[in-house]
Amino acid sequence: MKNKLKPPKTSGSAKIKEKKKRNFKKFLTSDAAFPYLCLLPSLVGVMIFFIVPFFVIIFYSMVDNPINKEFVFLDNYISVIRNTAFKRAALNTLTFSMISVPLAVILSMLLAMLLDSKIPFVSQFRTSFLCPMMVPVASIVLIWQVIFHYNGALNDFLSNFGIEKIDWLKSTKGQIVIVVLFLWKNLGYNMILFLSALNNIPKDIIEVATLEGAGGFYKFFRIKLRYLSPTILFVGILSLINSFKVFREIYLLTGDYPFDSLYMLQHFMNNTFRNIDYQKLSSAAILMAIVMVIIIGALFIAENKFGEDVED
Amino acid sequence: MSELTKEIDAAGSVTGAKVPLRVRLSKKKQKIIMWILTIFAAAAALIFLMPTFLTIANSFMSASEIKANYGVIFAENEDGGKEYISEKINLKFIPDMVSFSQYYTVLFKSPDYLLKFWNSVILVVPIVIFQLVTASLAAYSFARLKGRLKEIIFFVYIVVMLMPYQVTLVPNYLISDWLHILNTRAAIILPGIFTPFAVFILSKIMRRIPVSLIEAAQLDGAGELQIFMHICMPLCKSALFSVAILVFIDYWNMVEQPLILLSDTELYPLSVFLSQINSGEIGLAFAVATIYMIPTLLMFLYGEDYLVEGIAYSGGIKG
């Protein structure tokens, strides 16, 4: 099939070129071309809307402004990194990810194991853990406000134990509220990933271990965890990416300019969009893209390694 | 539970006299542990369900009841954010009297909400349909073609898929500006159609179709188009449902894209507009939120298995 697409190289006389052209036309109308043509609509779309503008952005991030187009190399990056708003946004986003990602992985794994432990009503429990996926973020935010407001339900409840009122959304505790919201929203999806991984653990290995008198802890740490490791990694990366998206909830809870500890990278981007500062925007986007490519690359390498490990 | 005990019984009978004592002891223990685990799961389930339940329950309260429980909830603060100005908030799960007055207001008195609902529909439905069409074609070629170039393209797709909005929205904005579709629905729909998520999942599934099946069809004289239409597509049916549900949910909840790509608030989908409902209308907000939940809840009720399957397929990058 490949040979048809690339006819053997020969000297470039006009006749052969003509022949090549005809061959190519013939190929295009032939049956074998169908899989190639299938890719076209999607590839063209991805090129136009993601890849090509991305390279334009790399260009923009290195010129002084889109009209003058004077090459300034890394100046824009340096000014973005030095920008206090960007620094705070990056730091907040990082802090949030560092807290929420491990929690998301561990808790969803525990939930999956809970549902895997042959308790009754498993399917009902699964439904309720998945339920948050269905609920529009905006309507959930209403409830979150009712609970975490200064005069809200949680403070009311805590006051029964003599704990003083906390202004959850407008203090450093704000991150806790968002972490809870993030976990509530994402645990179900992650749990399903873990459940399907648990299902894929060969039954006979567990059975043999049980026969040999292995306890629950041994079975978990020595057997299950090994098989779950690729999923742990994947869920970790997925949660990391989702943790960058948490802006959505924060925006709906607190608007464009939230309390300092809740000012995330997307806030920075949105507010920069308003000034249409292409240099700043593109440099920030590229910085983020570089971080993402490193993370995704690590995922690929790790998945290859872990994959081999389990197949042994 | 029964399966587990059976397993243990089997273990006891196979290994003979050594194990049974331990097993019999742990049987009782196991039962207690099961109870504890079940109670734990039930508590967790309650927490997960509570906000949804609260939203729906509160949407059936009359305006005065809402006001008595929540006061006047939202007010704009000086930064344009929202703030509570209520003195006291009572969480209330069951309305004193079921009232449809909030729904009546939403459906018949304020056409704005329905308009925004419609905005959501005409943004999301084309995205779901056309993403599935282009994706199933692309997935077919990813499954059928071989070679280094294909692998590189697929890797690029994955990278694009995993990029957060902070990165992809800038290129989207730029290209929309150039194509003069900024502030039109196309600015959201077109990039939505070409988001590689569906391609990723569908090609994972199509790659699992045994080559022998395709070769047999080719021997019988089937062309590529026939293989695609009569072998691959039918085998992907449930995966298509799964992907459709996942894509729908994702875009039904979109917030970032409209905020940046649409400046005309008339075009905003309900997911963004819902957050801008302010003072004195909290009851309406609950009713609107409930209405907004209906499509996803229906999908959930009738397609939970597809949804679960879809999520399971999305696990792992290479599959």
Contact (Cβ atoms closer than 8 angstroms) between residue B128 and residue B248: yes
User: Does A196 lie in the same domain as A135?
Assistant: yes
Q: What is the pLDDT of residue B87?
A: 53
Whether residue A259 is contained in a domain is answered as yes
List phi, psi (to 5°) of A265. Answer: -55, -40
Per-residue pLDDT of chain B (319 residues; tens, 9 = 90+): 444 444 444 444 444 444 444 455 577 887 888 888 899 899 999 989 988 888 888 888 877 777 667 655 554 444 444 555 455 566 667 777 778 888 888 788 878 888 889 999 999 999 999 999 999 999 999 988 888 999 899 989 988 888 888 788 888 988 998 999 989 999 999 999 999 989 988 988 888 888 888 888 888 888 888 888 888 898 888 889 989 998 998 899 888 889 889 988 889 998 888 777 654 577 788 888 888 888 988 888 888 888 888 888 887 665 4
CATH of the domain at A172: 1.10.3720.10
Q: What is the pLDDT of residue B67?
A: 67
User: Does A46 lie in the same domain as A13?
Assistant: yes
Residue B316 — left, alpha, or beta (φ > 0 → left; ψ -120 to 50 → alpha)?
left
User: Does A280 lie in the same domain as A167?
Assistant: yes
Q: Does B129 touch chain A (CB under 8 A)?
A: no
Whether residue A70 is contained in a domain is answered as no
The tens digit of pLDDT for each residue in A241-273 reads: 888 878 778 877 777 777 777 888 878 887 887
Q: What is the pLDDT of residue B118?
A: 92
Of A144, A225, A230, A156, the residue nearest A182 (C-alpha): A144
Whether residue A65 is contained in a domain is answered as no
List phi, psi (to 5°) of A51. Answer: -75, -55
Residue A281: other Cβ atoms inside 10 A: 25
**Angle made by CA atoms A44, B313, B136, in degrees to the nearest 5:** 30
User: Does A118 lie in the same domain as A43?
Assistant: no
User: Does A302 lie in the same domain as A259?
Assistant: yes
Q: Does B85 touch chain A (CB under 8 A)?
A: no
User: Does A113 lie in the same domain as A262?
Assistant: yes
Contact (Cβ atoms closer than 8 angstroms) between residue B241 and residue B299: no
The tens digit of pLDDT for each residue in B7-26 reads: 444 444 444 444 444 455 57
Percent of all residues in chain A with a pLDDT value above 70, rounded to a whole number: 93
The tens digit of pLDDT for each residue in A11-69 reads: 556 777 787 777 777 777 777 788 888 899 999 999 999 999 999 888 888 887 767 77
Of B241, B284, B278, B226, the residue nearest B105 (C-alpha): B284
- Report how many domains make up chain A: 2
- Number of A/B CB contacts below 8 angstroms equals 320
Q: What is the pLDDT of residue A111?
A: 92
Q: What is the pLDDT of residue B193?
A: 95
Q: Does A274 touch chain B (CB under 8 A)?
A: no
Q: Which residues 117-176 of chain A have a CB within 8 Å of chain B?
A: 117-121, 124-147, 149-153, 156
Whether residue A71 is contained in a domain is answered as no
Contacts of B274 in chain A (CB under 8 A): 136, 138-139
**Spans of all domains in chain B:** 2-84, 104-314
Whether residue A121 is contained in a domain is answered as yes
Alpha helices in B73-196 (DSSP H): 101-104, 111-144, 148-162, 165-178, 186-193
Residue-by-residue DSSP string for A66-83: TTT--B-TTHHHHHHHH-
User: Does A86 lie in the same domain as A34?
Assistant: no
Whether residue A90 is contained in a domain is answered as yes
Q: What is the pLDDT of residue B146?
A: 86
Cα separation, A273 vs A279, in Å, equals 11
Task: Give B200's contacts (C-beta < 8 A, 6+ positions apart).
Answer: B157, B158, B161, B314
Residue A310 confidence (pLDDT) above 60:
no
Q: What is the pLDDT of residue A263?
A: 83
User: Does A119 lie in the same domain as A221?
Assistant: yes
Look at A42 and B137 and tell me if their CB atoms are within 8 Å. yes
Q: What is the pLDDT of residue B114?
A: 86
User: Does A286 lie in the same domain as A237?
Assistant: yes
pTM over 0.95: no
Q: What is the pLDDT of residue B19?
A: 46
Residue A22's domain spans which residues?
A: 7-60
User: Does A91 lie in the same domain as A44?
Assistant: no
Q: What is the pLDDT of residue B279?
A: 47
Q: What is the pLDDT of residue A12?
A: 56
User: Does A45 lie in the same domain as A131?
Assistant: no
Cα separation, B130 vs B256, in Å, equals 21
Contact (Cβ atoms closer than 8 angstroms) between residue B26 and residue B8: yes
Whether residue A76 is contained in a domain is answered as no
Contact (Cβ atoms closer than 8 angstroms) between residue B232 and residue B202: no
Residue B214: other Cβ atoms inside 10 A: 17
Look at A38 and B138 and tell me if their CB atoms are within 8 Å. yes
Q: What is the pLDDT of residue A2?
A: 44
User: Does A48 lie in the same domain as A131?
Assistant: no
Nearest to A192 among B15, B37, B308 (CB): B308
* Alpha-carbon distances, residue A251 vs A248, A270, A293, B166, B257 (angstroms): 5, 10, 26, 14, 13
Whether residue A181 is contained in a domain is answered as yes
Look at B170 and A142 and tell me if their CB atoms are within 8 Å. no
- How high does pLDDT run on average in chain A? 81
Q: What is the pLDDT of residue B23?
A: 52
Look at B15 and A234 and tell me if their CB atoms are within 8 Å. no
Helix (H, G, I), strand (E, B) or coil at A214: coil
Q: What is the mean pLDDT of residues A274-283?
A: 80
Kindly provide the ipTM of the predicted complex, given to two decimals.
0.81
Of B276, B187, B274, B204, the residue nearest B240 (C-alpha): B204
Contact (Cβ atoms closer than 8 angstroms) between residue B286 and residue A142: yes
Contact (Cβ atoms closer than 8 angstroms) between residue A3 and residue A25: no
Contact (Cβ atoms closer than 8 angstroms) between residue B161 and residue A280: no
Residue A311 confidence (pLDDT) above 70:
no
Written as six digits, the tokens of A66 are 């889109």
Q: What is the pLDDT of residue B280?
A: 54
Q: What is the pLDDT of residue B4?
A: 45
Radius of gyration of chain B measured on its C-alpha atoms: 26
Q: Does B78 touch chain A (CB under 8 A)?
A: no
Please state the CATH superfamily assignment of the domain spanning residues B104-314 in this structure: MetI-like (1.10.3720.10)
